[in-house]
DNA sequence: TACCAGGAGATCC
DNA sequence: GGATCTCATGGT
């Protein structure tokens, strides 16, 4: 077991809690995951991010954690944009992952009308049907490929809690098994990339944007869900619907829209969580 | 019990 | 092209 270290600023808890990955599992003082069949243990200390893996391929993990995205330069581009900077300040070490395409597509197919805890539970259930591996003494499960998901059949996916979304996962698995070209999504014009994803059954604009953002590394994609709608509506009062908010965000933040969106999502949820905590303890927010 | 959750498809007008 | 219903399912 070897290790690779990155000194770049990162907040792994924010990455985990920000609803972009459902394939990490807490282990000791860090997390285990198995992207692209590479079992790895992540944790952070005073010196940055430490990754322990059998094959700690530096280039692979630098890309996985999207470390080439310069957060300091982003702050420069957002100079004077108070709402965006406030969201960034709520999670200074947030990073956007570039995750494997198929498992990300499955995760966000499961996300529709669902909550993060249940998505995570379903993904864990399906991953347990994949390959068992080991990362730094912790077990790590490689999410099955399309053939593995097809083998589960609808009944197996319903057992995982997929509910009415089970046929969507099967259709996605079939498409990928038959050669759906996901490699080109990173470079295509945004609307065309989105349209290709929306052509898949169960994939709408929001799920497509999540896949573009969290798997294809497209930080110009800006998924708008209930939380982002709440955050963006006051900023763009004239925008019509979620599509209107999406376009307005892209016009304002351009190639950084996806990152700003994710910081807003995380800070909104943290605020809501803090509010619930204060009410539960009888305090006044 | 009713409502909500990182929505999308079907149907109606 | 909007508005509305429905889809599983567990938590609050």
Q: Which residues contact A49 (CB under 8 A, 6 or more apart)?
A: A5, A6, A8, A10, A12, A42, A43, A65
Cβ A184 to strand C below 7 Å: no
User: CA A57, C1' C11: Å apart?
Assistant: 40
Q: Which of residues 214-243 of A touch strand C (CB under 7 A)?
A: none
User: CA A244, C1' C11: Å apart?
Assistant: 31
Residues lining strand B, beta carbon within 7 angstroms: A 18-20, 108, 111-119, 164, 198, 201-208, 210, 223-228, 261-262, 265, 269
At residue A186, the pLDDT reads 98
The phi and psi torsions of A180 (rounded to 5 degrees) equal -50, 125
At residue A284, the pLDDT reads 32
Q: Which residues of chain A have pLDDT under 50?
A: 282-285
At residue A1, the pLDDT reads 72
Cβ A113 to strand C below 7 Å: yes
Cβ A115 to strand C below 7 Å: yes
User: CA A60, C1' C5: Å apart?
Assistant: 45
How far apart CA A247 and CA A207 sit, in angstroms, is 16
Q: Which among A12, A9, A24 has a CA at the least distance from the CA of A99?
A: A24
Q: Which residues contact A116 (CB under 8 A, 6 or more apart)?
A: A19, A22
**Residue whose Cα is closest to the C1' of C10:** A118
Q: Which nucleotides of C are covered by protein (CB under 7 A)?
A: 7-11
> Using an 8 Å Cβ cutoff, are A208 and A225 in contact?
no
**Residue whose Cα is closest to the C1' of B7:** A112
End-to-end CA distance of chain A: 47
Q: Which residues of A54-66 are buried (b: 16+ CB within 10 A; e: fewer)?
A: eebeeebbbebbb
How far apart CA A240 and CA A159 sit, in angstroms, is 39
CA atoms within 13 A of residue A78's CA, in its CB half-sphere: 24
How far apart CA A104 and CA A20 sit, in angstroms, is 9
pTM of the model: 0.96
- Cα distances from A266 to residues A10, A39, A97, A111, A205, in angstroms, run 15, 27, 14, 16, 20
User: CA A175, C1' B1: Å apart?
Assistant: 41
How far apart CA A203 and CA A56 sit, in angstroms, is 34
At residue A111, the pLDDT reads 98
Cβ A202 to strand C below 7 Å: no
User: CA A119, C1' C11: Å apart?
Assistant: 13
């Amino acid at each position: 077991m070897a290790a690779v270290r990155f000194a770049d600023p990162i907040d792994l808890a924010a990455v985990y809690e920000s609803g972009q990955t459902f394939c990490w599992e807490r282990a000791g003082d860090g997390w285990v995951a198995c992207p692209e069949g590479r079992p790895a243990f992540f944790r952070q200390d005073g010196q940055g991010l430490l990754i322990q893996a059998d094959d700690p391929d530096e280039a692979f993990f630098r890309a996985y954690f999207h470390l080439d995205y310069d957060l300091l330069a982003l702050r420069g581009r957002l100079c004077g944009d108070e709402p965006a900077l406030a969201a960034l300040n709520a999670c200074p070490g947030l990073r956007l992952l570039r995750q494997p395409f198929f498992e990300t597509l499955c995760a966000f197919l499961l996300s529709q009308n669902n909550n993060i805890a249940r998505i995570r539970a379903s993904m864990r259930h399906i991953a347990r049907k994949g390959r068992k591996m080991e990362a730094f003494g912790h077990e790590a499960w490689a999410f099955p490929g399309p053939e593995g998901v097809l083998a589960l059949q609808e009944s197996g996916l319903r057992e995982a809690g997929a509910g009415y979304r089970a046929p969507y996962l099967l259709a996605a698995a079939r498409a990928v098994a038959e050669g759906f070209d996901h490699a080109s999504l990173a470079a295509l014009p945004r609307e065309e990339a989105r349209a290709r994803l929306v052509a898949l059954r169960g994939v709408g604009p929001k799920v497509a944007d999540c896949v573009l953002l969290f798997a294809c590394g497209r930080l110009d994609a800006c998924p708008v869900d209930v939380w982002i709608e709440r955050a963006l509506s006051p900023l763009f009062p004239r925008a019509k619907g979620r599509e209107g908010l999406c376009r307005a965000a892209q016009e304002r933040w351009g190639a950084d829209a996806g990152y700003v969106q994710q910081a807003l999502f995380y800070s909104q949820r943290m605020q809501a969580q803090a509010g619930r905590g204060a009410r539960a303890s009888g305090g006044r927010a």
